[in-house]
Structure 1
Amino acid sequence: MKDEKILGEERRLFILNSLLKADSPITGGELASRANVSRQVIVQDISLLKAKNEPIIATSQGYLYLKTDAVKEQFFEKIIACNHAPEKTKEELYTIVDHGVKVKNVIIEHSVYGDLTASIMVSNRREVDEFLKKIKTANAGYLSRLTDGLHLHTLVADDLEKIQNACKELEEKGFIIT
């Protein structure tokens, strides 16, 4: 039975349940392996689920279902403007996560496409390293290359002081544009 493919709606329900039960992101490859289908089939299924307004996001670590809890924890968000060379990305991200702050995304303003946003969702050095490894392995460029290093990040933390401390250190290192 393990070699049997999970088909159509049953597979999408399987994906949805897997994401709902997960405490961390699940890669498309892992979902494909569990359902005995290709990763491309999973990508298409995720698109169909998103079209049905399921709150699924793709991060550099895999897919996440954005759960809404009855009792919401209080989180603080702040958007910061940064500018640096691509080789400083690791230092920038480490500086942020070392303060207990999550980097939710990167945003650039493109001259043709307008605002482009990419989910990053890193909150510790291991996740930063995984993200940077994926960029390198995929031979993908940073979005900030399209804007000569200028970009925005949405920072998230459970304590506003953590964000303020991260921003202070980023400013001292010359990353933040004030």
Structure 2
Amino acid sequence: MNGNEKMPGEERRELILATLQKADRPMTGKELGELTNVSRQVIVGDITLLKAKNEPIIATSQGYLYMHAPVGPGKIEKTLVCQHGPEQTEEELNILVDHGLTVKDVKIEHPVYGDLSASIMVSNRQEVKEFIRQVQEANAVYLSKLAEEGIHLHTVIAETEQQIEKAKIALKQSGILVE
């Protein structure tokens, strides 16, 4: 925070929403807090209120993202079924991003809660590295570890079908792809 007067809640949420809609990258709670002169914790509450108003905001490992459209023009979205232990997570994600894919999310079927999903939104090795670091620092459990036999789904976004097919071949060679 920069010492300026605190912005009223509704005005702050409008600014947060406008900022996220214009952003070309995820924005962290800290960045949004500095912009609006409030703490990151206040931003978390504001994001929750915006989501309650059906604003398509997702929390990724890099920050908050406004989802303009499910898939950009000319993009292909597919779901891949994978299975591996936690030790292969970085390898799996690197294979996908190395083939030009964006890994949008991970989904599992939990025996008690049913379908669970989490946003990942990584598209290069640096973002994968940061995602893995955040999971380790938080001592978090990978969602795939909560699934029966580690089976999980990834929604991926690509420019071409060929990128997806090549990534599938590489995942299969690593013993990760379930067909």
Range of TM-score over shorter length: over 0.9
1:7 alignment partner AA:
P
1:121 alignment partner AA:
M
Matches for 1:9-88 after TM superposition, within 5 Å: 9-68=10-69, 73-88=73-88
Q: What is the number of residues matched between the two proteins?
A: 176
2:11 paired with 1:3 = no
The match for 1:121 is 121
The match for 1:101 is 101
Task: Please state whether the residue corresponding to 1:44 is helix, strand or coil.
Answer: helix
The match for 1:166 is 167
Per the normalisation by structure 2, the TM-score is 0.93
Matches for 1:145-156 after TM superposition, within 5 Å: 145-147=145-147, 148-156=149-157
Aligned counterparts of 1:101 and 1:170: Cα–Cα separation in 2: 13
Aligned counterparts of 2:123 and 2:33: Cα–Cα separation in 1: 26
Mean alpha-carbon deviation: is it higher for 43-52 or for 119-128?
43-52
1:42 alignment partner AA:
I
Measure how far apart 1:65 and its partner are. 1.1
Measure how far apart 1:30 and its partner are. 1.3
Unaligned 5+ runs, structure 2? none
2:45 alignment partner AA:
Q
Deviations 1:38-70 (A, max 9, x none): 2121111111111222221111111111224xx
Measure how far apart 1:142 and its partner are. 0.4
The match for 1:110 is 110
Unaligned 5+ runs, structure 1? none
Per the normalisation by structure 1, the TM-score is 0.93
